[in-house]
């Protein structure tokens, strides 16, 4: 059996999360090198995967930089990395901007949650779509606004100003959040829209999921949006959100899986799909697949084979590592389609 070395380069702030294990041994002289960059949303599971994979093999060095989806897309486009990572599927215009064909491979499912820091409030809050859109548009500015108190009877919300926190970098987590807000608020769709970066009406910016989580944790009366594992690891409370069926649902494995169920059997061949505001009483409304972005053509045979072998492992044995890190496994129907799609990499 080949020996394998997985080496992950990460931002120092990410290490403070304490999730995943980073292998940092120096590469052997004959080790193949694969470079990737992109989303912070799936960094904890990617770190775990690279660590587990190196225990099985030893002649490949995988270097992944957790810099945000926007940065990963740009680096893949410029050819400085072998694969990118994004929570946002590339739209037609973005794909046309590449000089080569890019394939999407969903890896896991995750949830983006509204997390908050309100001194004196220990109860779990409920958020309506209207309240979240209003807060991020700067229209709801106090914690005791009627849009919040009506959904949270019995909770003594203070009359303090709401400190809004958002991402400062190009972010797939931001795309998921703004994609959701665009679906539930026509005013948001018209004035702000959805993208990895938007012109925020209000708020403070934090870099990466870890930056937003850190700002919320240290800022009283704040609210932010982060991938679920970042709220859990930072011991931050996060609220339930009223879904398309009118039910307040908290992000957990079952509710994320329920959201994916709406598209599992009808997944498009290129895997580009949005599952925010999914139908169904059990579905958490702010969920997304997250993707590895891989060139269709990889001329170097050893690198091509290594990437294809990792994708196969990730879609099979690797899926068992998702749930302990608060991600949902891919539906079987999606995995089966992806295993066939690996053959498209030439």
Using CA atoms, how far residue 93 sits from 9, 96, 203, 215, 295, in Å, is 30, 5, 29, 34, 17
Residue 176 and residue 288 in contact, taking contact as beta carbons nearer than 8 Å: yes
H or E segment and range at residue 36 = strand 32-38
List CB contacts of 221: < 8 A, sequence separation 6 or more: 117, 118, 119, 143, 158, 160, 161, 162, 163
Q: Are 97 and 237 in contact (CB under 8 A)?
A: no
| Domain boundary assignment for the chain | 12-109+290-344, 112-266
Q: Which two structure tokens, joined as six digits, stand for 166? A: 């958002």
Residue 337: other Cβ atoms inside 10 A: 18
**Could you tell me the pTM of the whole model?**
0.87
pLDDT value at 6 more than 80: no
Q: What is the pLDDT of residues 74-118, one digit of tens each?
A: 999 999 999 999 999 999 999 999 999 999 999 999 999 999 999
Q: Distance from first CA to last CA of the chain, Å, rounded? A: 25
pLDDT recorded at residue 63: 86
> 112-266: same fold as 12-109+290-344?
yes
Answer CATH for 112-266 from 2.120.10.70, 2.40.240.10, 3.40.190.10, 1.10.3720.10:
3.40.190.10
- The model's pLDDT over 254-284, given as tens digits with 9 standing for 90+, comes to 999 999 998 988 899 999 999 999 999 999 9
**pLDDT at position 58:** 78
Query: What residue has token string 């011991």?
Result: 235
Does position 17 have pLDDT exceeding 80, yes or no?
A: no
Residue 56 has a pLDDT of 87
Domain 12-109+290-344 CATH assignment equals 3.40.50.2020: no
pLDDT higher than 80, residue 201:
yes
Distance (Å, whole) CA 27 – CA 343: 29
List the beta strands (DSSP E) in 248-319.
248-249, 287-295
Would you state the structure tokens that stand for residue 267, as one six-digit string?
A: 């997944």
């Amino acid at each position: 059996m080949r020996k394998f070395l997985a080496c992950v380069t990460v931002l120092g702030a990410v290490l403070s999360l304490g999730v995943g294990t980073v292998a940092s041994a120096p590469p052997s002289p004959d080790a193949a090198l694969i470079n990737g960059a992109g989303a912070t949303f799936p960094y904890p599971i990617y770190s775990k995967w690279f660590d587990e994979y190196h225990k099985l093999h030893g002649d490949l060095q995988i270097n992944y930089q957790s810099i945000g989806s926007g940065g990963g897309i740009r680096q893949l486009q410029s050819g400085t990395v072998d694969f990118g990572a994004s929570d946002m599927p590339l739209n037609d215009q973005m794909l046309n901007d590449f000089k080569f064909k890019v394939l999407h491979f969903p890896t896991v499912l995750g949830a983006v949650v509204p997390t908050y820091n309100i001194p004196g409030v220990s109860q779990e809050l409920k958020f309506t779509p209207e309240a979240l859109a209003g807060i991020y548009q700067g229209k709801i500015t106090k914690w005791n606004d009627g849009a919040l108190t009506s959904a949270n009877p019995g909770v003594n919300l203070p009359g303090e100003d709401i400190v809004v926190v958002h991402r400062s970098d190009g972010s797939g987590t931001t795309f998921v959040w703004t994609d959701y807000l665009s679906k539930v608020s026509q005013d948001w769709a018209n004035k702000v829209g959805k993208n990895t970066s938007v012109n925020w009406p209000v708020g403070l910016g934090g870099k990466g999921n870890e930056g937003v989580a850190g700002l919320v944790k240290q800022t009283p009366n704040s609210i932010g949006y982060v991938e679920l594992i970042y709220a859990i690891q930072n011991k931050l409370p996060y609220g339930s959100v009223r879904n398309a069926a009118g039910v307040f649902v908290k992000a957990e494995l079952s509710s994320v899986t329920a959201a994916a169920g709406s598209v599992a059997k009808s997944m498009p061949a290129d895997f580009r799909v949005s599952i925010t505001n999914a139908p169904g009483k059990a579905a958490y409304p702010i969920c997304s697949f997250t993707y590895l972005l891989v060139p269709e053509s990889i001329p170097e045979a050893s690198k091509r084979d290594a990437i294809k072998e990792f994708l196969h492992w990730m879609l099979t044995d690797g899926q068992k590592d998702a749930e302990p890190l608060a991600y949902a496994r891919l539906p079987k129907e999606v995995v089966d389609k992806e295993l066939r799609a690996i053959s498209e990499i030439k």
